[in-house]
Structure 1
Amino acid sequence: MLLGREFKRNLRGLIIWSIIMAGIILLYLSIYPEFAKQQEGLDDMMSTLPDAMKKAFGMDRLNLSSLLGFYGIEIHLMTTLLGSIFASLSASNIVVKEQHEKTIEFLLSRPITRSQIITQKLGAVVINILLFNVVIVAASLLGFQFSKDNDVELSTFFLLESAVLLMHLTFASVSFLFSTILRRNRSVVSLSLGLVFITYFFSIISGVSDHFTWFKYMSPFKYAEAAAIITDRYFDPLYIAIMAVVIVCCALSAYWYYSRKDITV
């Protein structure tokens, strides 16, 4: 079964990325109790930072002395940025590699349609991302136990993580579409990673400059912004709709294009 084969081929990468992410989360949360003891010093340190920087990273709305605020400032960046890189890498080469490795003729000779190929490869990507996000949630919940004053509101935390998951799926869907359209593995990976970093840059710019606030609509990083979700306990339905539309449109476009693609080795 193609789905099982793809899952096994990507299992090593999933394990490595999961271990790294879990390690980062646990490391940061393990030092939170020491941060909390130095609340006055943290407040002084925050006051010395430029307003633009605090606004860009949500430090104007979140507090390092609270566990969820600390998570939103210090850890959320890792789960979104590194997680998006993982999602993009997982999806970017899963289709195009068949041509790159010259296995596409063998695959198409099997009793399997192109739609089934896309479905099972897309399914493997989704499963990888879901498992990766399960690791993020599990490591976070475990790390919260390092704090004696565990004041995390779990409903807000899960709302934040649902935004992170949807964001990862958004980047994965775009990278998956690239993988069906382009013919060179390096081109797909470069374009996918470039998209992640450019949209991250857009989120920073939209937070720093009042003249470029509209950039936030071009960046999934802004959709899953920790400061807004944690402070307001609210995930904007507009952002949910935009990411859902991108995911569905990219998936449907991948089906449409691949079924008509002239595949040559």
Structure 2
Amino acid sequence: MLIFIRELKRNRKSFIIWTASLVLFDILMMSFFQSIADNTKMYDEMVKGFPKGMIEAFGLDKISMSTILGFFGTECYIFITLFGSIYAMLLGASILSKEEGEKTIEFLLAKPVTRSTIVTAKMANAFFYITLFNIIFAFVNFLMFETVKIEEYSKKAFLLLSIGPLLLHLTFVAIGLLISVFIIKAKSVYPFSIGFVLVMYFISIMSSISEKLTNLKYFTPFKYVDTPDIITNERIEPIYLVIVFAIITVSIAATYVFYNRKNIL
């Protein structure tokens, strides 16, 4: 419990910065919805002028920015999932490695706690912050939806658009946690984590614009919670849920195994 509380204090500042920055951006973007909705024809014509690949990459062939769900999906959801995933990956990948990088792991291991206890406390801390991060976004988004809406929207789709990022971010936290076992230098965490998330996002885009690469969607978590599919079908595909929970479970289990076997001292 002491380790968990220590990690809460340790990661509080970054949580506040990431959350506040993205929430402010989210509010700013959602405040433009009514002006977009009032000029639907103009924006529809503008979208038609986009390259086909761009339209397919962002799902503009399936959803419209003239609806509040479509606008949120194209303007806000992408940033929440992308930058939220970077935050999640950084949090997960640094939470164990920072102890070795800052030479504080000896202090922890000198206490009457097992390595598994350390992993559990740090993992719980990361999951707590990511869950809180998404709860705050869901609450803010609901308030913004109710404030700027010009017609009713599917509450089920909204709920899924709130759950989707949580699943995505938990996936990246779990992957990051596993990676943190093998990264010692804290400076290496940032380029690797950001690069990994961006590669996953790039693969997601490529699977959307090329039929030959469509099967790549199974290799990137971003496609598991894709906006157009959620809004159009009002569900997250069961196969994607299975993959998400499998990745999280395997990553967590592997973290315990490798960290307990790791030669630290």
- Deviations 1:204-246 (Å, cap 9, x if unpaired)? 1111111111111111111111001101112101111111101
Sequence identity percentage: 37
- Equivalent pairs, count: 264
User: Is 1:94 the counterpart of 2:106 in the alignment?
Assistant: no
Within 2, Cα distance between the matches of 1:75 and 1:105?
43
* Counterparts of residues 100-179 of structure 1 (less than 5 Å): 100-179=101-180
* Counterparts of residues 60-99 of structure 1 (less than 5 Å): 60-99=61-100
Q: Contact between 1:200 and 1:219, CA under 8 Å: does it hold in 2?
A: yes
Amino acid corresponding to residue 54 of structure 2 in structure 1: M
TM-score (normalised: structure 1): 0.97
Shift of 1:201: 0.4
Q: Contact between 1:33 and 1:146, CA under 8 Å: does it hold in 2?
A: no
Within 2, Cα distance between the matches of 1:148 and 1:163?
21
Q: Contact between 1:175 and 1:188, CA under 8 Å: does it hold in 2?
A: no
Unaligned runs of 5+ residues in structure 1 are: none
Following superposition, which runs of at least 4 residues in structure 1 exceed 6 angstroms of deviation? none
TM-score (normalised: structure 2): 0.97
Amino acid corresponding to residue 58 of structure 1 in structure 2: G
Answer with 176-185 or 221-230: which moved more: 176-185
Within 2, Cα distance between the matches of 1:218 and 1:148?
35
User: Is 1:30 the counterpart of 2:34 in the alignment?
Assistant: no
Answer with 31-40 or 139-148: which moved more: 139-148
Q: Contact between 2:86 and 2:197, CA under 8 Å: does it hold in 1?
A: yes
Partner of 1:249: 250
User: Is 1:240 the counterpart of 2:241 in the alignment?
Assistant: yes
Shift of 1:150: 4.2
- Deviations 1:20-48 (Å, cap 9, x if unpaired)? 11111111111100000001111111111
Amino acid corresponding to residue 68 of structure 2 in structure 1: L
Within 2, Cα distance between the matches of 1:33 and 1:114?
53
Shift of 1:90: 1.0
Amino acid corresponding to residue 248 of structure 1 in structure 2: T
Give me the CA root mean square deviation.
1.1
Shift of 1:101: 0.6
Q: Contact between 1:80 and 1:164, CA under 8 Å: does it hold in 2?
A: yes
User: Is 1:192 the counterpart of 2:219 in the alignment?
Assistant: no
Unaligned runs of 5+ residues in structure 2 are: none
- Deviations 1:127-168 (Å, cap 9, x if unpaired)? 010010011111111111332524221111111221211110
Amino acid corresponding to residue 181 of structure 2 in structure 1: T
Aligned residue for 2:165, secondary structure, equals: helix
Answer with 93-102 or 144-153: which moved more: 144-153
Say if 1:52 and 1:148 are closer, same or farther in 2 by CA, change over 3 A. closer
- Deviations 1:46-67 (Å, cap 9, x if unpaired)? 1111222111101000001000
Within 2, Cα distance between the matches of 1:5 and 1:184?
21
Aligned residue for 2:147, secondary structure, equals: coil
Partner of 2:220: 219
- Deviations 1:57-99 (Å, cap 9, x if unpaired)? 0100000100001011111111100100110111111101111
Partner of 1:52: 53
Aligned residue for 2:63, secondary structure, equals: coil
